[in-house]
Amino acid sequence: MNSFQQLGIADDLLQGIVALGFETPTPIQEAVIPAALEGDIDLIALAQTGTGKTAAFGLPLLQRINPSARTVQALIMCPTRELCVQVANDLENYSKFAHQYKVVAVYGGAGIEGQIRQLKAGAQIVVATPGRLMDLMTRKAIRLDSVERIVLDEADEMLNMGFKEAIDYILAAAENRESIWLFSATMPEEVRRIAATYMDNVREITVGGRNQTNENIEHRYYVCRADDRYAALKRVVDANPGIYGLIFCRTKIEAKETAEQMIRDGYNSDALHGDLAQGDRDRVMQRFREKNLQLLIATDVAARGLDVNDITHVINYGLPDEIEVYTHRAGRTGRAGKTGVSITIVTPKFEERISQIERKNKAKFTKHPLPTGMEVCEQQLYNIIRGIHEQEVHYQEIEPFMPWIMEELKDLDKDELIRRFASVEFNRFLAYYRNAPDINIRPKGDRGGRDGAQRGAGSGQMHRLFLNVGEIDGINKKEFIKFLSRNFGVPGGSIGQIDLNKAYMHFDIDSAYVNVVRQGLLDFTINNRRLRVDDAAPQKEKKSGRKDDAFYEKWEKKGKKSGKKW
Ligand code: AMP
């Protein structure tokens, strides 16, 4: 007997979930399903997304619908449009081989008239965002007096999103309800208040401990200087070549800028934030879901509707203000029985907050040193080699070329061949990371070393570079030298003459540091402006820079945005 059957799930629904590949109930399903089928009791279930909570409430809910009554019998409230659509789809999938219940999803951000028509055509289960439902109620497009069961899905998120008033309005109006099943990842005061006001004889179901983050999730953190945050992000991503990750930013601007920087740096990534039109948001989420995007850089609000199972890493590009938000973020990985890693990049100022989260979530964090450039290269190399084993070969198509290939490569022995094939990809990372500085914060007095090259081991040969920032950007020579030293480990003695102009500059730098500085500078912006580095003639520039000055003067007049100071 299938264990869902043992929980009391009827045969016709069973067929649906078997078709979806559900074999064993998840812990939350095991606990909720029998209780929900038992009678008209109120339930509070502490469950994160990814634990199987939709089926935990969806299956008993479907089973208790009277197929012959045409009235709205069940109401599911969700925080976002995406979740509404997802839940409605899930219900339809579970009941694929059962009675075709009428499920209608109503949510904001879509035309209300079509939703009114669907409701008029008859709905037995309504899945709604609270705001839109309240709107429909005030327009008298829906009545809740026949509703028997109400599910509050992600109750804490709905309250976070400001739906408190709408939830109160709806719960007060559904006066004939027999039970409320409340699902929440965390139990803040507001959720408690809802329970105390509207629920009786509550049965609380906690799987795996209250406020505890999923045990399948490993929590790691890295500490770096504020200036090195982006470089640290890159290292973490590069040191995990198979990453399928969600990167959380605190603000829309940060998500947008970080995504722009990552795209420029060649990462298969995009941004998801509230300034995007709904259609664009849907498209980005779809690309990520289909794994056509490897990294999604999102704000907490915009990522709410995203439901993806096999995210390998969540990266907190800075900690959120609220501990609950961390729980939600981390809960995006380690879902459906898989393991995942939640990574946090913090500056020393915020390190203390890690212990606060640990205490509150009873989750153990481990501090890791940021990978050195060589460690990144090593991981990439392992990945390349593993990839060779998995590489699909089109024998038929490549066969005609084999004699020629063999002839071309016949002077190389096996070792040399392997070395060269591996180098095709490896060199790209090596070029970037060969002279990359150690960006871990070192104890005072320890000046650290460089990866691959010794600090101060200059070639003695100077090289002149152009940089498209100057006095108008607040640059001064002393600060610039400090900046190069702090970020790229360039000793003061390896920096030669600096010629600072209004909108651009030239500087001499020891050739040993040219690559790392050229690449590394691209990770920074000044006043939202992308840095451009170029080779310059070794002599002092003539007045040809005037054109540039004029350009920037014009640009400056248009209004200079205040951006991240480097
Ligand atoms: P949820 O927490 O409802 O968003 O579910 C997370 C994911 O787990 C969804 O993709 C479900 O399809 C899947 N899932 C839920 N229950 C089971 C189960 N018993 N066995 C396998 N997968 C499941």
Written in H, E and C, the secondary structure of 511-549 is HHHHHHHHHHHCCCEECCEECCEEECCCCCCCHHHHHHH
Atom of ligand 1 nearest to the CA of 25: 19
Band (274; pLDDT cuts 50, 70, 90) = confident
Mean pLDDT of the chain: 86
Residue percentage of the chain with pLDDT more than 90: 51
Does residue 276 register a pLDDT over 70?
yes
Does residue 229 register a pLDDT over 50?
yes
Equal fold, 217-372 vs 462-565: no
Q: Of 516 and 397, which is predicted with more confidence? A: 397
Does residue 551 register a pLDDT over 90?
no
Residue ID of nearest Cα to ligand 1 atom 19: 25
Q: What is residue 463's predicted lDDT score, i.e. its pLDDT?
A: 87
Query: What residues are paired with 507 via a beta bridge?
Result: 465, 498
By most ligand atoms within 8 Å of CB, the mutation choice from 22, 82, 154 for ligand 1 is 22
Which has the minimum average pLDDT: 192-196, 205-209, 484-488, 502-506? 205-209
Which has the minimum average pLDDT: 243-247, 274-278, 345-349, 441-445? 441-445
Residues within a 6 A CB radius of ligand 1: 22, 24-26, 29, 49-55, 307, 309, 335-336
> Going by DSSP bridges, is the β-strand pair 340-346/245-249 parallel, antiparallel, or unpaired?
unpaired
Does residue 454 register a pLDDT over 50?
no
By most ligand atoms within 8 Å of CB, the mutation choice from 6, 20, 184, 307 for ligand 1 is 20
Q: What is residue 49's predicted lDDT score, i.e. its pLDDT?
A: 74
Domain boundaries, the chain: 3-206, 217-372, 374-433, 462-565
pLDDT in tens, 84-143: 999 999 999 999 998 889 999 999 988 999 999 999 999 999 999 999 999 999 999 999
Does residue 240 register a pLDDT over 50?
yes
By most ligand atoms within 8 Å of CB, the mutation choice from 153, 335, 338 for ligand 1 is 335
Q: Which two tokens stand for residue 284?
A: 């980005």
Does residue 384 register a pLDDT over 50?
yes
| Ligand 1 center from residue 184 Cα (angstroms) | 16
Averaged over 38-49, what is the pLDDT? Answer: 87
Band (559; pLDDT cuts 50, 70, 90) = very low
Q: What is residue 445's predicted lDDT score, i.e. its pLDDT?
A: 52
Is residue 196 within a helix (H) or strand (E), and if so which, with residue range? helix 189-198
Band (458; pLDDT cuts 50, 70, 90) = low
Q: What is residue 185's predicted lDDT score, i.e. its pLDDT?
A: 86
Does residue 55 register a pLDDT over 90?
yes
Q: What is residue 307's predicted lDDT score, i.e. its pLDDT?
A: 77
CA–CA separation, 259 and 270 (whole Å): 5
The pTM (predicted TM-score) of the whole model is 0.57
Does residue 528 register a pLDDT over 70?
yes
Residue ID of nearest Cα to ligand 1 atom 6: 50
| Ligand 1 center from residue 336 Cα (angstroms) | 6
Would you tell me how many other CB atoms lie within 10 Å of the CB of residue 356? 12
Q: What is residue 459's predicted lDDT score, i.e. its pLDDT?
A: 60
Averaged over 210-217, what is the pLDDT? Answer: 62
CA–CA separation, 556 and 529 (whole Å): 12
CATH no., domain 217-372: 3.40.50.300
Q: What is residue 451's predicted lDDT score, i.e. its pLDDT?
A: 40
Band (446; pLDDT cuts 50, 70, 90) = low
Would you tell me how many other CB atoms lie within 10 Å of the CB of residue 2? 15
Of the options 3.40.50.2300, 3.40.50.300, 3.30.70.330, 3.40.630.10, the CATH number for the domain spanning 462-565: 3.30.70.330
Task: Give the CATH H-level superfamily of domain 3-206.
Answer: P-loop containing nucleotide triphosphate hydrolases (3.40.50.300)
Band (189; pLDDT cuts 50, 70, 90) = confident
In 239-350, which ranges are continuous DSSP H helix? 252-264, 278-289, 300-303, 323-330
Averaged over 260-265, what is the pLDDT? Answer: 91
Q: What is residue 262's predicted lDDT score, i.e. its pLDDT?
A: 92
Query: What string of DSSP letters covers 41-94?
Result: --EEEE--TTSSHHHHHHHHHHHTS-TT--S--EEEE-SSHHHHHHHHHHHHHH
The sign one gets for the Cα dihedral 546, 552, 557, 558 is positive
CA–CA separation, 259 and 245 (whole Å): 13
Residue ID of nearest Cα to ligand 1 atom 11: 52
Band (565; pLDDT cuts 50, 70, 90) = very low
pLDDT in tens, 65-75: 999 999 999 99
Q: What is residue 343's predicted lDDT score, i.e. its pLDDT?
A: 96
Averaged over 522-534, what is the pLDDT? Answer: 82
